[in-house]
Structure 1
Amino acid sequence: MKIKERSLVIIKPDGLQRGLVGEIISRFEKKGLKIIGLKMMRLDEALLLEHYSHHKDKPFFKDLARFMSSSPVIVLCLEGLNVVSAVRLICGVTKSSEAEPGSIRGDLAISTAYNVVHASDSVETAEKEIKRFFKQDELYEYDKAEYLYVYAEDERK
């Protein structure tokens, strides 16, 4: 199968500590997205600085770094057709109070800072983020039988 677009998702400390990991992962699986990488990890200062470099000079960065390092996180690499936009739709907008009901943030978060998940915002960003969080041998290629029932034949080519 040639469905190769990928996206990175981080289930943040609030998602882990509130016991939402299974529900969050289930939403991606129910959509038909394929998990090709999954791990629990702690984010150290160097990784946080690299990942959030666009926020490092903002007043909230220290609080963000403290929050993101307060607990392990779950990191996922998902694969599927138009997966970046699909994941962002499933997650909902960053500001949880404005997220649509039915989205992860709309249903499970109220805070903008503690908004349960991070999701890549573009295909280009996803490629960088996946390399940042996963070694190549931590990503698994496999055929997912379900794809025969998720994607039309012309979409699988």
Structure 2
Amino acid sequence: MQRSLILLKPDCVQRRLIGEVLSRFEAKGLQIIGLKMLQVTPELSRKHYAEHVEKPFYQSLEDFITSAPVVAVALEGLEAIGVVREMLGATNGLKAAPGTLRGDFSSSRQMNLVHASDSEASAERELDLYFRSEELCDYSLCLTGFMRTDDE
């Protein structure tokens, strides 16, 4: 089982797509183990995007991510990181395949609705930025047996 951080970005919140995005993750069999809405501060933005702070495009990234609330989601599931990234599609919504979240709802490189962790190391770091350990809920779903076998 893997965990991943998902951020429903300001454009997702403003366009009222939160439910649509969450329902797709749930329909895929991913389990929501943490969920909250928050306003990203410039300080949190710098921590989250630490590898980009010195790049020329960083300020526009910070301006965007701090412009409106985001919804932070902790997801868990089999190969969750790769599964989520496939569901999102290409970073640029214009190049994302139909059927992916970005392919269906985005036509921008920056306003691409959702951020998702790209590795187990980044998932761990990002989850720690947005959630305290006591905010993540370990629980079993009664339908899990109908979503995958015990040996998966």
The TM tier, using the shorter chain, reads over 0.9
**What is the deviation of 1:21?**
0.3
Residue aligning to 2:11: 14
Q: Does 1:93 align with 2:90?
A: yes
Does the Cα contact within 8 Å between 1:32 and 1:146 map onto a contact in 2? no
Aligned letter for 2:17?
L
- Distance in 1 between the 2:97 and 2:91 partners? 11
Q: Secondary structure at the match of 1:84?
A: helix
The question of whether the paired residues in 2 share the 8 Å contact of 1:100 and 1:106 is answered with: yes
How far does residue 6 in structure 1 lie from its aligned partner after superposition? Answer: 0.2
Could you say what secondary structure the match of 1:63 adopts?
helix
Deviation at 1:57, TM superposition (A): 1.4
What's the TM-score, normalizing by structure 1? 0.95
Query: Does residue 41 of structure 2 align to residue 39 of structure 1?
Result: no
CA positional deviation for 1:147: 1.0
Of Structure 1 and Structure 2, which has the larger fraction of its residues in helix?
1
Q: In 2, distance between residues paired with 1:93 and 1:129?
A: 21
Select 1:143's aligned residue among 140, 143, 147. Answer: 140
The 4+ residue runs of structure 1 with deviation greater than 4 A are none
Question: Which residue of structure 2 aligns with residue 118 of structure 1?
Answer: 115
- CA deviation vs aligned residue, 1:43-86 (integer Å, no higher than 9, x gap): 11111001111111122111110111010000000000000000
AA in 2 matched with 1:101: P
1:145 and 1:84 map into 2 onto residues whose CA distance is: 23
1:83-140 per-residue CA deviation (whole Å, 9 max, x = no partner) reads 0000001111212111111010000000001000000001111111111110011100
How many equivalent pairs are there?
152
Cα distance in 2, alignment partners of residues 124 and 39 from structure 1: 22
The one of 67, 71, 75 equivalent to 1:70 is: 67
SS of equivalent to 1:97: coil
TM-score (norm 2): 0.98
- What amino acid is the match of 1:32? G
Question: Which residue of 126, 129, 132 maps to 2:129?
Answer: 132
- Unaligned 5+ residue runs, structure 1? none
The residue type equivalent to 1:97 in the other structure is: L
Q: Structure 2: where are the runs of 5+ without partners? A: none
